[in-house]
Structure 1
Amino acid sequence: MAIALLGFGAGLPFLLVFSTLTAWLRDVGVERTTIGFFAWIGITYSIKVFWAPVVDRISLPLLSRWLGQRRSWILLGQLGIAVGLVWMSLLDPATELWWVAVAALLVAFSSSTQDVALDAFRIEAVEDSLQGAMSASYIFGYRVALLFAGAGSLYLAEWYNWSLSYGAMALMMAVGILATFWCQEPPHISRDQRNEQDAAMMDRLFGRPMHMERRPGWERWLLGAVVCPILEFFQRNGWLALLILAFVAVFRLSDITMAVMANPFYLDMGYSKSDIASIAKVFGFFMTIAGSALCGVLVIRWGMYRPLLLGAILVSSTNLLFATMAFVFEGGAEHPSLWWLTLVISTDNLSGGIASTAFVAYLSSLANKSYTATQYALFSSLMTLPGKFISGFSGWVVDGLGYGQFFVVAAILGIPAVVLVLILMRRMPLPAPAAENHSQS
């Protein structure tokens, strides 16, 4: 229950600086090219690896004594999100677009900081055999939050206005904040134990005594917090580490790229905000949950890699349904029916549920528990960085070529993930965080 509620707090801000924000901007008449560039705010999630060592190793004054290392950083991120959302609710994108971007950047930075601490909390809180259940609970809470941030915010914008909608979302961050106070801090090794572990790791990685105890404090921190996690991952996996990182980088390339233009596409097709909320968000939510549940069964029966392959194929191919819809109705056909939207949303969210559930479990299996925050931040940053960067040009592509060609390009971007998962299936078994961690495989 605790991790599900914390997952709710993690998922709530994501759409509010991503697809829900694009709907708001399009609704007030902002050009699609400009909307596309707003996707670069999401790069904040992709570069969190740079401050993950700070979150992992440095304790916050007062808060850490009260709540512990992980929960104090989670709470700080949650408070930043709430402040940023309140600020956004007080702005008008038609006249204060730059300030909207700044406020959204505050939300994204705070959210990504919360994610670093929460990912470490989630992995450290239970033993490896329960990581699958933890991932499922976290994703459930995260998806429920996406329902509120997606459908809920659109309904409120339709019935009232966007300002009230974002203000209400800020209030809902109380769910995650209360969960932070309710849950218990996971056990940690002491600072002396951490230093001994870092020293032993550095000696083993470099094959000779590194005399960490003689080095200045800042150098010991840098080597232990930044160098050790990265070197440990590469030593454990060898040259296949590059293949794994490449796969992580391209797995979500297709769906992140198309997601920026999804809500503008629905609005330009003539659907109302309540139509989008009811079908794309509410109905889509249940299809995503169905996909996640199906993936859980498939992982038990097939293992990790085949559900990953299935998810990669489905996520890429469902973009062709969006392209078909765009080609048909941009070609002069009558206004698309709600059945068209339902069909496209059903397949897209079902495939997304399969892909995301398998991928979160896969990323969790890659991390060594001694370096959870930094290593998982590295994986999750790589997971979104290419897609966020490319999606910044999505509005420019749509304005230049049209929605149909854009979705075809998004489908093509999913091919590298399919190829790489096939290679990983042949080259290596399910990765284990470390021999002593007894991976859930």
Structure 2
Amino acid sequence: MGNRKTGFMAVFGFAAGLPYSLLLGTLYAWLSDAHVDLETMGVFSLIGLAYAFKFLWSPALDRIDLPVLRRLGRRKQWIVTAQVLLGIILVTLSQLDPVAALGLFSLLAGIGAFASATQDIAIDAWRVDVADEVATIDMLSTVFQMGYRIAALVGGALALILAERIGWTSVFLVMGLILVMAGVICLFAPDADAIAPSADERDELLELREAGQLSPRVRALALGLVGLLWGWALVTVGVFMVRSLGSDPGARPDAVDFVAKTGPLIVIATIILPAAIAAVLVWLQRSGRHLLPEAVPHNGTGSRAADHLYRALILPLTELVGRMGWGLVLALALVLTYRLCDSIWGTFAYPFYLGELKYTKDEVAIASKFFGVGAIVLGLALGGTLLTVVGRMATLTLGAVLAAATNLLYADLALGGGHMAVISDMLGVTWLVAQLGGEPRLGTLMVTIGMENLATGIAGAAYIAWLSSIVSKGYSAVQYALLSSLTLLVGTLGRGALGQLIQEQGYYRMFVLVTWIGTIAIVLCLLEWWRTARKARA
């Protein structure tokens, strides 16, 4: 934390986690207290789509500068602007009545989610761009997540506690002022431009109309295809948002169904198919086909605009495909499966704790929010240490093993928790809980959640470090946003079938199945480890 880059990374992580926790979690508690109906709150949940589909506007952050603020640096201009805007939005929300001013309230919340997702894109890119031999990508990724998790605790559990005492108005006012303060602090963060080449500098090194480059006709065809795919995705999301915000509740589409069914199609249209097109372009370039024999000048504003769009949409993909080759297929498979163990059953966590195991809400809050978040932060610290001691791929593989194995702890809970109770007794947690006036069985839940979150912290530290390592400086905003979007959407695909499995065969069978699913990520980690080791030797 003594390193300047690492210290600011912690601030960035906190500033990224706080609005996410407030807008997608704590805000609903305020709406509930204000007696806003559930149907209206369901419409509010749509603001979460800004995070799921943030990659759709990520190319703009690599190519567009904000007036006056460009002097801050191409990453900081977006980060600081988003933080200050978020602070102003939260302060404004604190002064509104969510019932009397519901329209303005929802509009500001939606803008806040968009600004928060934009901040995430810029922060992820900044982390990749400023990493060096001292402030390594592994350490920066770990510290970012620690700040993010602490912010989740502040914006979640602490905000709820404060709301009981000082009211929602004061809570959101304080949180808004914290974000404005973060924006001021981040003015002094290192500038990524001094470390990584900007998109404009890369353009100077790669003039698309020089001899040896792909012909304008081929580039135009590729740009047209990718443009149609991205255009369809943008229109689809836009139409869905407009329909969802309509005045007729019966005409509103189902948000969960949209993400589960249309979400994968959007990912295919904006990531998978464009990556295939990029692979064809790389093959044409390397095989010497359809190349310009000599430099060709621009023939007007249209050709310049086409080249500009080509750089924004196509070049980040061709760079990634050209650099990783067939290894990108393995990387995409790992992105799709690595966090599957954690994400796929998360929706059923509270029904499992409250309905199946019959714990109280207070017990679940203590075990999952306070004790659980502490365990995640400890796991992140341990993961960061392992990254520096045994290396990135060893830690990534260990994280996959632990993430899969900890599902067996929940399987034991589903059978009565006999083994976990013994472990809780051995660790002294049962005794501590009893001394504090709690039920002894709470210790069993705390140990189970704690061990799982410890594994989640280790896996999370390794995964974000690995994901950050496979994107390149200069194209980091687009590449990281595209890859991370796969992680956000992957857990939604199997939840319907998983819910049916729970209903028919119980939670125990579900946890055993998820453990087996986790072995897929373990195998892929070993293959990726072998690939990177072979590449290093070569």
**TM-score, scaled relative to structure 2:** 0.66
**Correspondence for 1:49:** 55
Letter of the 2:324 counterpart: N
**Correspondence for 1:332:** none
**Correspondence for 1:195:** 203
Q: 2:140 pairs with 134, 151, 162, which one?
A: 134
Structure 1 residue 164: deviation in Å?
A: 5.3
Q: Deviations over 1:74-124 (max 9, x none)?
A: 12322443455457765669x999998766544432222101111222222
Structure 1 residue 399: deviation in Å?
A: 8.0
Alpha carbons 2:199, 2:474 under 8 Å: kept: no
C-alpha distance in 2 between matches for 1:81 and 1:64: 19
Distance 1:106 1:227, change over 3 A: same
**TM-score, scaled relative to structure 1:** 0.79
Q: Deviations over 1:231-286 (max 9, x none)?
A: 1111111122111012112211232233344456555544345x455432332233
**Correspondence for 1:304:** 392
3-state SS of paired residue (2:479): helix
Letter of the 1:135 counterpart: S
Distance 1:319 1:78, change over 3 A: farther
Distance 1:325 1:58, change over 3 A: same
3-state SS of paired residue (2:125): helix
Segments of structure 2 that go 5 or more residues without pairing to the other structure are 1-6, 215-281, 418-438
C-alpha distance in 1 between matches for 2:514 and 2:109: 25
Q: 1:271 pairs with 350, 360, 365, which one?
A: 360
Alignment of 1:66-105 (within 5 A): 67-82=72-87, 85=90, 105=110
C-alpha distance in 1 between matches for 2:316 and 2:389: 32
Letter of the 1:194 counterpart: R
Distance 1:288 1:49, change over 3 A: same
C-alpha distance in 2 between matches for 1:84 and 1:283: 31
Count residues with an aligned counterpart.
426
Alpha carbons 2:20, 2:113 under 8 Å: kept: yes
**Correspondence for 1:118:** 123
Letter of the 1:186 counterpart: A
**Correspondence for 2:331:** 244
Residues 1:58 and 2:145 are matched in the alignment: no
Distance 1:340 1:137, change over 3 A: same
Letter of the 1:424 counterpart: E
3-state SS of paired residue (1:292): helix
C-alpha distance in 2 between matches for 1:315 and 1:327: 20
3-state SS of paired residue (2:192): coil
C-alpha distance in 2 between matches for 1:217 and 1:177: 35
Residues 1:429 and 2:439 are matched in the alignment: no
Residues 1:295 and 2:383 are matched in the alignment: yes
**Correspondence for 2:484:** 380
Structure 1 residue 130: deviation in Å?
A: 2.5
Segments of structure 1 that go 5 or more residues without pairing to the other structure are 330-334, 436-441
3-state SS of paired residue (1:147): helix
C-alpha distance in 2 between matches for 1:401 and 1:218: 58
C-alpha distance in 1 between matches for 2:331 and 2:496: 25
3-state SS of paired residue (1:216): helix
Alignment of 1:22-421 (within 5 A): 41-65=47-71, 67-82=72-87, 85=90, 105-131=110-136, 132-157=138-163, 159=165, 165-187=171-193, 189=197, 193-199=201-207, 203=213, 205=282, 206=285, 207=288, 208-209=291-292, 214=298, 216-262=303-349, 266=353, 269-273=358-362, 275-326=363-414, 328=416, 337-388=441-492, 410-411=514-515, 413-421=517-525
Higher RCO by CA contacts (8 Å cutoff, separation 6 or greater): 1
Q: Deviations over 1:380-437 (max 9, x none)?
A: 22222212565699889878887666655654553432232132233443878xx9xx
Alpha carbons 2:21, 2:151 under 8 Å: kept: no
Letter of the 1:193 counterpart: E
Q: CA RMSD of the aligned region, Å?
A: 4.2
Structure 1 residue 327: deviation in Å?
A: 5.5
